[in-house]
Each structure stands twice: as C-alpha cells, then as structure tokens.
Chain A
Amino acid sequence: DARVTQTPRHKVTEMGQEVTMRCQPILGHNTVFWYRQTMMQGLELLAYFRNRAPLDDSGMPKDRFSAEMPDATLATLKIQPSEPRDSAVYFCASLITDTQYFGPGTRLTVL
C-alpha cells in the first residue's frame, strides 16, 4: 500500500528556531506539493516541484521558508527562523496522473 510519508508527525519548538519537515512521496510520483492548513485559512498551497525542480513557490513566505527536493525520494520544507504564526499542520502531497495523494501531515507548534 503505497503512501506519502512525513516526518516528524509533531514538532514543538521555540520562536526563532529552525524547523525542517520531510516528505517521502510515493515512488514514481514526480510532482510534489507542500500545503499548510490552519483553522483560519484552511488548506493553502505553499510550493510544488516537478522532477525535483521548483515550479511554483508563490504561496510561500520567501524570507523564512525554503523548499527543496534533494532527490526523487525526499522533499524538505524548512522554516528559519520560525515564528508563532507558523503554527499549523503542514501536508505534503504527491501527484500521479491527475490525483494528489496526501501524507499524514506534520503538526508544528511554535511557542
């Protein structure tokens, strides 16, 4: 049963600290998305990659967020420095044909 995996599942950190979230897309899926979900804003697209190249990161705050895909099996989302307003659940999704399959998410709390 192929699934998108994300680590860590939960992260609590203090303001100013660096946070790195990781995603392993489903093998063979060449397009990977990062989303953020909050109560107020719902699900928002942050960035996405195809064949490891960034296609669109217009939804991502550029000053503190960065997304990379060092290889086909790993996507990372980094926040440095983190702020309390970054507290949210961050989802990764990978795409096959037209359907995006989501991971379980990383719940981030920034104190």
Chain B
Amino acid sequence: GESVGLHLPTLSVQEGDNSIINCAYSNSASDYFIWYKQESGKGPQFIIDIRSNMDKRQGQRVTVLLNKTVKHLSLQIAATQPGDSAVYFCAESQGAQKLVFGQGTRLTINP
C-alpha cells in the first residue's frame, strides 16, 4: 500500500551510516509508543515499541529514545542497509489500544 504523501519528510543517508528518524507526539497522556516500517505495497511492519516508564529501548540494530519532557520520540538505525529503505511511522496511544499515527518519514539509502 502506498504510504507516501506528496510532502512526506525524507531522510537520505549513506549505506553503512546510522539513521535517526524523529517524531513529535501530541498527547502528554500517551503511555505507549511504537515504530513501524512500511515498504511499498506492504502493510506496516512492527519494529520496536516503548512504554512511557522507559526512556530507551534497544532491539536488533534499532534503538528507540523517548523524551517525555519535550514529547519527542526517535528511532535510530545502526549501519543502515539498502533493505532499510521504507517509510517509517511513529504512533502513540494510551493503553496500547487506539494508535494515532504520525505522517511518516521516507528513508532512502544512498549506495
């Protein structure tokens, strides 16, 4: 499924570099946050999540950072690979039920 908008923010990185994708959320009562990756023609794929009682969580090659003071969420991808090219969405919710999605960021990898 196409997930891009005409004015989707884009991040371009060199293959092998680290990528940082940022997201500002709006609801100070949100207690659950999640990152999804969406490739062209596919549904959103879960990457990593974090609860509001944490400020950092690590997965395989990915790290999510949460700053509740400024309502900011970031996704760090280490050693970016061509297969990381996609649109990345953050989402927030209260109680991990009704997710509210951000607009998405397109990540492109330069060889």
Say whether A99 contacts B2, CB under 8 Å.
Answer: no
Near B by CB (< 8 A), chain A positions 84-111 give 89, 91, 93, 95, 97-105, 107
In the complex, what residues of A have CB within 8 A of residue B5's CB?
Answer: 39-40, 42
Contact pattern, B 41-58, Cβ under 8 Å of A = 1, otherwise 0:
111111001000000000
B30 contacts partner chain A, Cβ-Cβ < 8 Å: no
Say whether A107 contacts B98, CB under 8 Å.
Answer: no
Q: Assuming the A-B contacts A56-B98, A104-B42, A104-B43, are A99 and B49 also in contact, with contact meaning beta carbons closer than 8 angstroms in the complex? A: yes
In the complex, what residues of B have CB within 8 A of residue A98's CB?
Answer: 32, 49, 96
Chain A, interface SS category: strand
> Can you add 10 more A-B contacts, CB < 8 Å, to A91-B43, A99-B46?
A4-B43, A42-B101, A43-B44, A45-B100, A93-B44, A99-B34, A99-B96, A102-B36, A104-B41, A107-B1
Interface residues of B (CB under 8 A from A): 1-6, 32, 34, 36, 41-46, 49, 89, 96-104
Interface residues of A (CB under 8 A from B): 4, 31, 37, 39-40, 42-43, 45, 48, 56, 89, 91, 93, 95, 97-105, 107
